[in-house]
Amino acid sequence: MFPMTASDLSIKICKKHIIGPINLTINEGGITVLMGPNGAGKTTLLKALHGIIRLATGQVIFETPATAAQKQQSFVFQSPIMLRRSSLENLAYPLIINGEDKQNAMNRARSWATKIGLSAHMERPAHFLSGGEKQKIALARALITSPQLLFLDEPTASLDGATTVEIEALLTEAQSTGTTIIMSTHNIGQARRIANSVIFMKDGQVDAHLTADAFFDKPPTEAAQKFIAGDIVL
Amino acid sequence: MSDFWEGIQQAIWLLLTQDAHLMEITLRSLRVTLSALIISCLIALPLGAILAVRRFKYRRLIISTLNALMGLPPVVVGLIVYILLSRSGPFGVLGLLFTTHAMVIAQVIIITPLIASIAHNSLRELWSEYHDLLISMNTSKWQRVKTLLWDGRRALMTASLAGFGRAIGEVGAIMIVGGNIDHATRVLTTAISLETSKGDFALALALGFVLIALALAVNLTTHWLAQTEREGRW
């Protein structure tokens, strides 16, 4: 499936230019963190790479055919989208639509529920869970199919420290078992903790793309330096 | 006023003694209405879901037409069905005029746009909530429709009950195509109309109270369903 290559990728929404042209390559393994100020185009780039918004120009290429590559990906949204079902059924949903036997799917969902510490809440409608619990369900639902590529759009925004630590642990574990992760975050501390490489975005363009160590040791652009220093990047 | 009290007394008496004529008319009313409701739901609910999920040419025209047909005058529907089913009409050979089948056909035409329109409005809202998730999970169009129909089942039940309420109280169309024939096509509404014209207000009121009881039962069920939805009980 890898490397994933975006070439001359650009997005327009209602004829307004949003991001691009962007050229980048993501290799297999590790956690790539997308950072940048608000409106830099992080969410749009994630959705474009995942293929859920139409490209104005360019293409995203995988080593495997597009339909096969699509099946190997998952996406976690900033505001978790819960199906109007029980938490257990939410977890089992991706398995069931992929044709897995319902009983097996439910059993696997139960073991994931135990893993994320929510087994006591599995029969409750998912809408009644707290924000952090919903995000854990959303992450487990994305990981339950063992995707090769996982996109996350600010998964820990507005969550407390304890839940953030739990989610980071799940991401680190997923990465160690072969899932390549691309996530956006505003949290510089989080990026320092888990990132292997960093893509810094500004004004709809990739301003820098390098290893996390190199990025934090010596930010390559003025905007990146300001961002890491906690200054406002305009 | 004496007719009113007499009507209440007679209604209670007819119900307590399970008057055979009343039971026959009531059961026929239910049979015709429920048959029409089932057929309408089979057409209207998937149609509502497809209109919510898919984008195709003439979609807006279909939605506008459905909305317009919600206010279709039943007498006109009765007249059109009468012409189509009459001996000189295109479907006259089927011999359906003045049968309960003709009444079901007329009711289906009246309530299908109503159910489809309410279903579409509810499912459109649900689809806007689910859109990104189901697209990112690479679901097929059929899986999306199925998911919306299942997760929107409470709203769809409300749409169906609205259709039931409209059909059970319908008189104009079924009078024309059914003919109000005793022991054959007489239902609650046409019997009320007949007894009123005969001056037997007590019996007409008694039948009216049964009809009101059925309508009330439907409304209470709708209310109860809405409550269970808010509490997330099913």
Contact B133 A127 (CB under 8 A): no
Torsion-angle region of residue A99: left (phi > 0), alpha (psi -120 to 50) or beta?
left
Q: For residue B219, is pLDDT > 90? A: no
Helix (H, G, I), strand (E, B) or coil at A8: strand
CA angle A211, A213, A219 (to 5 degrees): 85
C-alpha A117/C-alpha B32 separation (Å) is: 52
- Measured in angstroms, the CA of B133 and the nearest CA of chain A are apart by 7
At residue B138, what are phi and psi to the nearest 5 degrees? 65, 35
Q: For residue B12, is pLDDT > 90? A: no
pLDDT confidence tier of residue B133, bands split at 50, 70 and 90: very high
C-alpha A60/C-alpha A67 separation (Å) is: 12
Q: For residue B229, is pLDDT > 70? A: no
Mean pLDDT of the region B58-85: 94
- Establish, for the pair of chains A and B, how many residue pairs have beta carbons separated by less than 8 Å: 36
Full strand arrangement of the beta sheet holding A205-211: A73-76, A149-153, A180-184, A31-35, A197-202, A205-211
Query: A-chain residues within 8 Å CB-CB of B228?
Result: none
Torsion-angle region of residue A167: left (phi > 0), alpha (psi -120 to 50) or beta?
alpha
- Is B61 exposed, middle or buried, given 0-12, 13-18 or 19+ CB atoms closer than 10 A? exposed
CB atoms under 10 Å from CB of A137, counted, come to: 25
Q: Given the structure tokens 């709203």, which residue do they identify?
A: B155
Residue/partner pairs of B186-191 with CB below 8 Å, 24 or more apart: B186/B25, B186/B28, B187/B25, B187/B28, B187/B29, B187/B32, B187/B103, B188/B25, B188/B26, B188/B29, B188/B214, B189/B29, B191/B25
Rg (CA), chain B: 20
CA angle A166, A169, A172 (to 5 degrees): 155
- Is B142 exposed, middle or buried, given 0-12, 13-18 or 19+ CB atoms closer than 10 A? exposed
Query: B-chain residues within 8 Å CB-CB of A50?
Result: 136
- Is A76 exposed, middle or buried, given 0-12, 13-18 or 19+ CB atoms closer than 10 A? buried
Nearest to A97 among B126, B143, B152 (CB): B143
C-alpha A207/C-alpha A41 separation (Å) is: 12
Contact A77 B138 (CB under 8 A): no
Q: For residue B21, is pLDDT > 80? A: yes
Contact B137 A94 (CB under 8 A): yes
Kindly list the structural domains of chain B, giving each domain's residue range(s) and its CATH number in brackets, ordered by start.
Answer: 2-228 (1.10.3720.10)
Name residue B49's beta-bridge partners. Answer: none
Query: A-chain residues within 8 Å CB-CB of B126?
Result: 84
For domain A4-80+147-229, give the CATH superfamily. P-loop containing nucleotide triphosphate hydrolases (3.40.50.300)
Sign (positive or negative) of CA dihedral A19, A24, A28, A30: negative
Q: Please name which of B172, B175, B169, B155 lies closest in space to residue B215, comparing C-alpha atoms.
A: B169
Read out DSSP for B147-195? Answer: HHHHHTHHHHHHHHHHHHHHHHT--HHHHHHHTT-TTTT--HHHHHHHH
Q: What is the mean pLDDT of chain B?
A: 90
Percent of chain B at pLDDT exceeding 90: 68
Domain chopping of chain A, boundaries:
4-80+147-229
Using a CB–CB cutoff of 8 Å, tell me whether B199 touches chain A.
Answer: no
Q: Please name which of A2, A12, A19 lies closest in space to residue A61, comparing C-alpha atoms.
A: A2
Quick one: pLDDT at residue A20? Answer: 85
Read out DSSP for B64-87? Answer: HHHHHHTT--HHHHHHHHHHHHST
- Structure pTM? 0.85
Angle between helices B59-69 and B100-136 (to 10 degrees): 140
Quick one: pLDDT at residue B231? Answer: 59
**Residues B39 and B232 sit within 8 Å (Cβ to Cβ):** no
CA angle B129, B133, B137 (to 5 degrees): 155
Query: B-chain residues within 8 Å CB-CB of A47?
Result: 132
Quick one: pLDDT at residue B40? Answer: 97
Quick one: pLDDT at residue B215? Answer: 83
Q: For residue B11, is pLDDT > 80? A: no
Mean pLDDT of the region B107-123: 96
Contact B132 A81 (CB under 8 A): yes
Mean pLDDT of the region B193-221: 86
Helix (H, G, I), strand (E, B) or coil at A178: coil
Q: Given the structure tokens 């510089």, which residue do they identify?
A: A188
Quick one: pLDDT at residue B232? Answer: 56
pLDDT confidence tier of residue B8, bands split at 50, 70 and 90: confident
C-alpha A34/C-alpha A153 separation (Å) is: 9
- Measured in angstroms, the CA of A2 and the nearest CA of chain B are apart by 19
Per-residue pLDDT for chain A (234 aa), expressed as one digit of tens each?
889 999 999 999 988 999 989 999 999 999 999 999 999 999 999 999 999 999 999 999 999 998 889 899 999 999 999 999 999 999 999 999 999 999 999 999 999 999 999 999 999 899 889 999 999 999 999 999 999 999 999 999 988 999 999 999 999 999 999 999 999 999 999 999 999 999 999 999 999 999 999 999 999 999 999 999 888 777
Question: DSSP character for A2?
Answer: P
**Residues A233 and A226 sit within 8 Å (Cβ to Cβ):** yes
CB atoms under 10 Å from CB of B189, counted, come to: 21
